Chains A and B, each alone.
Chain A
């Protein structure tokens, strides 16, 4: 099977789950940023909880290789803040914008067009950023267990406790 077919099948499942989790919607995304509706946090944290156990088990048995993105403090922080600011106004993230159009939220088309323009703009800026800013605070593909000098499981256990406490909090507060 080609990588395109596998990507398509995975995407169909991903899209159906995003839709069934009701996280594609503007009001859910902005609702989380207004700290009024934590649906997307419940969804993301549940996915992370299960995925981090699954993927670290596979990696532990040597079946797959982890491929964490490099940490580059300047770019991660400035890029992350810019993304967050734009995200609040757009009301979608890159993956959900496409699914939002698919469930009838036609205004997400303008979000997609804007993101295409943003990608084009970044491609033009890249030659000027490549050697300077994109190297600022470059720490390589580090992971939390690596930094703490422990294996993955204590970190996973700690995160699991924090996430479950957060779920209890969300449900108590009706968020």
Chain B
């Protein structure tokens, strides 16, 4: 274990700290509204647009869509930007790689694309329901919450990670899955 320290996550992370700070001051000066990094509310707005196309009345009457407002706002475009930024960066440094089933999953559950898709979908449902209940995800509660020393951030992040460790142990460790 005498490997050299891999500085990559530290440097990229520290730069996200700089970005979060810049974002807070620039949005305050330019927009008159302070913007903190976050992600999960955008999923509410995105599905609001989908539901609007099917049944606009239903969306209009739902108090949650009324509260969060179905619109393309700062955070919505932040998420679009994440796609553009990650695509550009991965193409430029050649780390872009098509993958249908990740290695850790393959070792435990095999290479079936269908099972991985079902897992990702069901996990996604539970996770997003939880994130909306908790009022944030690892970006909003984890990064922005802790940067502001918010009690809700510390509680939410501890629960995210605590339940994640437990579930990961149950799901991936059995029958010699990993190691």
Contacts and interface: CB of A to CB of B under 8 A. Distances in A.
- A contact face: mostly helix, strand, loop, or mixed: helix
13 contacts: A3-B74, A14-B16, A15-B89, A18-B16, A22-B9, A24-B86, A52-B146, A80-B141, A83-B131, A85-B164, A88-B168, A103-B97, A118-B131
Contacts, number: 541
Nearest to B129: A118
B50 interface: yes
B12 interface: yes
Contacts of B56: none
Among A82, A84, A99, A122, which residue has the most Cβ atoms of chain B within 10 A? A84
- B contact face: mostly helix, strand, loop, or mixed: helix
A78 B126 CA distance: 12
Given A20-B89, A87-B160, A116-B43, A11 B77 contact: yes
A121 B151 contact: no
Given A4-B73, A27-B103, A55-B21, A83 B1 contact: no
A23 to B, nearest CB: 7
A135 to B, nearest CB: 13
B86 A99 contact: yes
Nearest to B154: A144
Interface in A1-22: 1, 3-22
Contact of A44 (B23, B43, B143): B143
Contacts of A45: 13
Interface in B70-107: 72-90, 93, 95-105
B36 to A, nearest CB: 6
Contacts of A14: 16, 19, 37, 78, 81-82, 85
Contacts of A117: 47, 121, 124-125, 128
